[in-house]
Amino acid sequence: MKSTKIGLTLGDPGGIGPEIVIRLLEHPSELPPAEVIIFGQRVILENWSEKLGHKADWLNRVLAQQKITIKEIGRPLDEVVCGMPSAENGLASFYFFESAVEAARKEEIKAMVTAPVSKTSWQLAGIKYRGHTEYLEKLYPHAIMSFWSNRLQLALFTHHLPLKEAIDRVKKESLVNFIINLDQSLKLWNLGIKEFLMCGLNPHAGEGGIMGLEEQNEIIPAVIEARKRKINLNGPFPPDTVFLQGVDRPDKLVICLYHDQGLIPFKLISFQSGVNLTLGMPFIRTSPDHGTAFDLAGKGLASYLSLKEALWLAWNASKVKEG
């Protein structure tokens, strides 16, 4: 049987992306039964293999033994600036990502997994996007940032925006469209969600208008409209308690209205194993739920567990589509 092809980007060469890829390759039995194509540069992996104490031929031996290949992207870096943002690393990581997206759009790979990039490095390189999801939204306007672990699932109505701008976007029509797109995408990939839990925006979900009117004027009408469309959505619930209803319930997903409303509880309980999953596209894209961790880069302390979970989620979801 033909193996499922999954693209894996190296992320920022100076962050922990290449390090956690190496760490995962040290445990081949923990990889999904897929053909993994690394979008990056051999010289970067060789550099990091040496940093982590491997012999010169280690990488070649690992690649020969597994269904893993390296797709060379761009001019090989002369030097990897480790532990800090840089324009050269930012440009390289963008090209790795852009090439993997192109391959997914051409159906050369069934899914893609992206190691962390630095928004600062992208900015230094003149890249206009704030991150992976913003780039994908250019191609797929209905792209949705969601987060998955064995304990909690959630989706973000807004993500990398200043808080004031995120609050200003909480409008009935936008919420209804988001909920419909989310529901359709989850059904497409058969991810097992049976009920949505809507977060309120204000303390106590507004307490009947005493602590804010967004629930009364925008969120509740959106929930009512979604329910008319046979979507199993309940709320809005107070943001400080809604996650208690969703934790350890794999059939429930919490809809959060802005970035930190969802990511604080998620990372509190799932930091080592959480996965960022982009929905609303014809292919699956996953990523570890952490950043470049420049302060850890090169110290041998970074955990590969979130990357491993990202690969498995990408593989499982792509098998559903193939089936």
What pLDDT digit, counting tens, does each position of 131-185 carry? 899 999 999 999 999 999 999 999 999 998 999 999 999 999 999 999 999 999 9
> Which pair of structure tokens corresponds to residue 50?
């040496």
For the segment 299-317, the average pLDDT, to the nearest whole number, is 94
Residue 236 backbone dihedrals phi, psi, to 5 degrees: -75, 145
Residues of the chain with CATH 3.40.718.10: 1-140+273-323, 150-272
**Residues 145, 33: Cα–Cα separation, whole Å:** 26
Contact 306, 290 (CB under 8 A): yes
Q: Is the pLDDT of residue 96 over 60?
A: yes
Helix (H) or strand (E) holding 279: strand 275-279
* pLDDT attached to residue 64: 83
Please tell me the total number of residues recorded for the chain in this structure.
323
Are the CB atoms for 226 and 236 separated by under 8 Å?
Answer: no
Give pLDDT, residue 56: 86
Per-residue confidence (pLDDT) for residue 312, from 0 to 100: 96
Q: How far apart are CA 308 and CA 26, in angstroms?
A: 12
**pLDDT reading at 14 higher than 80:** yes
Contact 146, 263 (CB under 8 A): no
Q: What percentage of the chain carries pLDDT values higher than 70?
A: 98
Q: Residue 195's beta-bridge partner residues?
A: 252
Q: So what's the pLDDT on residue 321? A: 63
| Confidence label for 276 from pLDDT (cuts 50, 70 and 90) | very high
- Mean pLDDT of the 224-237 span: 98
Instruction: Give the largest CA-CA distance in the chain.
Output: 67
Of 43 and 320, the one with more pLDDT: 43
Q: How far is CA 121 from CA 87, 90, 92, 100, in A?
A: 5, 4, 10, 19
- DSSP codes of every residue in 178-219: HHHHHHHHHHHHT----EEEEEPSSGGGGGGGTT-SHIIIII
pLDDT higher than 60, residue 20: yes
CATH code: domain 150-272 is 3.40.718.10
CA angle 298, 301, 305 (to 5 degrees): 115
Q: Which residues, listed in sequence order, are joined to residue 286 by a DSSP beta bridge? A: 113, 277
Predicted pLDDT at 313: 95
- Among 57-66, 70-79, 101-110, 314-323, which is the least confidently predicted range? 314-323
* Average pLDDT over all residues of the chain: 94
- On whether the 1-140+273-323 domain is CATH 3.40.50.300, my answer is no
pLDDT digits (tens, 9 = 90+) for 193-209: 999 999 999 999 999 99
Task: Report the predicted TM-score, pTM, of the whole model to 2 decimal places.
Answer: 0.92
Instruction: List, for residues 102-144, the tens digit of each pLDDT value.
Output: 999 999 999 999 999 999 999 999 999 988 999 999 999 999 9
Determine the average pLDDT of the residues in 1-30: 92
Q: CA triplet 269, 271, 275: central angle to 5 degrees?
A: 110
Give the mean model confidence (pLDDT) for residues 220-230: 98
Beta bridge partners of 199: 237
- Which tens digits make up the pLDDT trace of 233-259? 999 999 999 999 999 999 999 999 999
Give the per-residue pLDDT at 130.
86
